[in-house]
Amino acid sequence: MSIRFGAALLVAVALAAVGQRALAHHSVAGEFDVRKIVRLNGVVSDVEWANPHIYIHLDVREPNGAATTWRLESVPVAMMRKAGLSKVLLLGNGQTAMVDAYLARDGTPHLGYLVEITYADGHHYQFASDK
């Protein structure tokens, strides 16, 4: 294999890898309807502290008494750490939390993007500036 062919192959592989990552990533407005905000009250039951995005599970009590778990997407781990937040802080010690979230654009039930979370003790975190 010539050096020229090897270099071209390396560039092609690198571009393919970058292209796959670009396709895999999405914008908030691409997956969630930023014009439709839902307000939820519940308890954070789990935090999926993983890349590419953190997911917060919020157990919401429905009017009929049944519990529904909402899966709320958030920012990546690096951004959360840079803001000084951790999985333990997001869990909120079992307090009730009020959440504003953008609804899933495709209508997936109980899926949203976390805009703001306010805990019963009054502390809150905001994840979107255009609420």
Predicted model pTM: 0.77
Q: In a structure prediction context, what are the per-residue pLDDT tens digits for the chain, which is 131 residues long?
A: 444 433 333 333 333 343 333 344 568 888 999 999 999 999 999 999 999 999 999 999 988 999 999 999 999 999 999 999 999 999 999 999 999 999 999 999 999 999 999 999 999 999 887 65
Could you tell me the residue ranges of all domains in the chain?
Answer: 28-126
Specify whether the CB–CB gap between 118 and 97 falls below 8 A.
yes
Q: Are strands 111-119 and 67-73 parallel, antiparallel or unpaired?
A: parallel
Residue 69, CA distances (Å) to 11, 58, 112 in order:
45, 5, 11
Give residue 20's pLDDT: 39
Measuring CA to CA, which residue among 39, 42, 60, 45 is closest to residue 120? 42
User: Which CATH code, of 3.40.109.10, 2.40.50.140, 1.20.120.920, 3.40.50.720, is assigned to 28-126?
Assistant: 2.40.50.140
Helix residue ranges per DSSP H, the chain: 3-24, 28-31, 77-82, 87-91
